Amino acid sequence: MTRLIHAMHTTDIFTTPEDLAPTPIELPAGTHYLKGFACQYAAELNAAIQHIATYSPFRQVMTPSGKKMSVTMTNCGTYGWISDRYGYRYSTLDPLSHQHWLALPSCFIELVNAALSHEHLPNYLPDACLINNYSVGAKMGLHQDKDEKNFTYPIVSVSLGLPALFLLGGLTRNITPRRILLQHGDIIILAASSRLRFHGVLPIQPGYHPELQAQRINLTFRKVT
Ligand code: MD6
Ligand code: FE
């Protein structure tokens, strides 16, 4: 009977209640997961990203150890996150053009504000947005985001396009990370005692997303100074 009721509300008569139930994910204190929160903003975000990438193109950067990262990146905001053989840091200038990064589009700021207030977190005005672009196979090794001055400001992360398995570890590298599925429109916020957790992204699997095709884009909003 339950099965029939569910079937009446879906188009697929083979959908069971188990399929409809969201997968429970236990999250540590300070980690906020907003499933699909950015979906309604996606078209506007994507248009803004295209504009930013025309001005400051996605580029592959070197880590200080001399390895090329598999993701390509660009930035907007007062500060951009850059990496080269001298290290990781924030810069007000795009090292490719020696020009300032473009300002944060208003839809970016509105989305961050909406996500923070939804979670009853204090609002803040981000001064940096790192935009990571993953092709199939690209990944992000376990890292902490600690180049910012004040860790009381959370990092707000928005995922678009192909899904990814996000690794959320502990405050030291040796803790086995949880795996959290990040799909188009999902937001994860690392705040408070989760702000400095190690995290990374497993290699992106082949797929196709109707809005972003064969790529995943991740926006991370920060307050650097
Ligand atoms: C990514 N995200 O999802 C990489 N950093 O592609 C991050 O590195 C990240 O999701 C800080 C806070 C949240 C994040
Ligand atoms: Fe990060």
pLDDT in tens, 106-158: 999 999 999 999 999 999 999 999 999 999 999 999 999 999 999 999 999 99
Q: Is the CB of 31 under 6 A from ligand 1?
A: no
DSSP-assigned letter for residue 108: H
Tell me how far the alpha carbon of residue 155 lies from the centroid of ligand 2, in angstroms. 8
Tell me how far the alpha carbon of residue 157 lies from the centroid of ligand 1, in angstroms. 6
Q: Residue 164 sits in a domain of what CATH number? A: 2.60.120.590
Tell me how far the alpha carbon of residue 220 lies from the centroid of ligand 2, in angstroms. 8
DSSP-assigned letter for residue 182: E
Tell me how far the alpha carbon of residue 9 lies from the centroid of ligand 1, in angstroms. 36
Overall number of domains in the chain:
1
**∠ CA 53-218-179 to the nearest 5 degrees?**
160
Q: Which residues surround ligand 2, an ion (CB under 5 A)?
A: 145
Q: Is the CB of 157 under 6 A from ligand 1?
A: yes
pLDDT tens, position by position, 162-202:
999 999 999 999 999 999 999 999 999 999 999 999 999 99
Q: What is the dihedral of CA 24, 25, 28, 30, to 10 degrees?
A: -90
Domain that includes residue 15, residue range: 4-222
Distance, in Å, from the CA atom of 27 to the CA atom of 21, rounded to the nearest integer, reads 17
pLDDT tens, position by position, 32-54:
999 999 999 999 999 999 999 99
Q: Is the CB of 188 under 6 A from ligand 1?
A: yes
Q: What is the pTM of this model?
A: 0.90
